[in-house]
Copies of this chain bind each other. A is one copy, B any other.
Amino acid sequence: MLEIGPLTFQSRLLLGTGKYPDFDSQKRAVEVSETEILTFAVRRMDIFEASQPNLLEKLDTTQFSLLPNTAGAKTAEEAVRIARLAKASGLCTMIKVEVIGDFQTLLPDPFETMKACEMLLEEGFIVLPYISDDVILAKRLQELGVHAVMPGASPIGSGMGIVNPLNLSLIIEQAQVPVIVDAGIGGPADAALAMEMGADGVLLNTAVSAAEDPVKMAEAMKLAVHAGRLGFEAGRIPKKRYASASSPSEGMSTVE
């Protein structure tokens, strides 16, 4: 069970809602994924005046916890403003803090992210910052009181998977709150690896929405997260350069 602040979830897969080819595949991908947490970007213009059909109209939002994100923010102040808008809608108490430090790589700014988290915690939000895999940054944010940390596996939309397993494992070892791997996941093996390493959840968007078949990929990711989690709980074998035979000459099972 994934526990974020006072909230609990059965599913460990968080799904983004951007960049699907069409609303129907978006809707079906969300359903098939069995996600309980949907993330999406908040924009001022739409939040109070819905001029066009969108996902959240089509989905029964009471089925999901909504995790609005502050995508587009370059400063803590912008992020806080976006978060307040989201809260004013009455649909959510969680916020994914995303303050971008560079619009080429979309990598997050550690300083503005920290500042935004501090302000949002004071205002009573459940705060989940998207961060780099800097181990001390993850530690400091937890000392501040965030409810989860969301280190990127690699840059947003890159599909490169976990480029630094060492840092991710150090973050997981030191974590006092859930670690949700966010950004960079490309395929099911990446999601399974994050979970097998002990992450508490995985947040995906492009890997599903930009796959050739988003609905099938959503199912793949659901299974991969589950597989990785079970693998973590089951206690995998250690790595060695070589080992003894798995079909040893003594004591083996044989055909009768």
Contacts and interface: CB of A to CB of B under 8 A. Distances in A.
Contacts of A100: 245
Contacts of A226: 223, 227
Interface residues of A, number: 116
Interface in A126-174: 132, 134-137, 139-140, 154-161, 163-167, 169-170, 174
- Number of copies of this chain that the complex holds: 4
Contacts of A220: 227-231, 234
Given A132-B135, A154-B166, 9 more contacts: A72-B249, A106-B243, A110-B134, A157-B246, A187-B237, A216-B230, A219-B230, A224-B224, A227-B227
A47 B254 contact: yes
Contact of A253 (B55, B86, B156, B174): B55
B247 A205 contact: yes
29 contacts: A17-B253, A18-B246, A18-B248, A40-B255, A54-B254, A100-B245, A101-B136, A102-B136, A155-B242, A155-B243, A157-B240, A159-B236, A159-B243, A160-B166, A163-B167, A186-B239, A187-B193, A188-B228, A188-B231, A189-B193, A192-B192, A209-B246, A211-B236, A213-B233, A217-B234, A217-B235, A220-B227, A220-B229, A227-B227
Contacts of A137: 110, 132, 134
Interface of A: 16-19, 26, 40-43, 46-47, 50, 54-57, 66, 68-69, 71-72, 86, 89, 91-92, 98, 100-102, 104-111, 114, 132, 134-137, 139-140, 154-161, 163-167, 169-170, 174, 183, 186-193, 196, 205-207, 209-214, 216-217, 219-224, 226-231, 233-249, 252-256
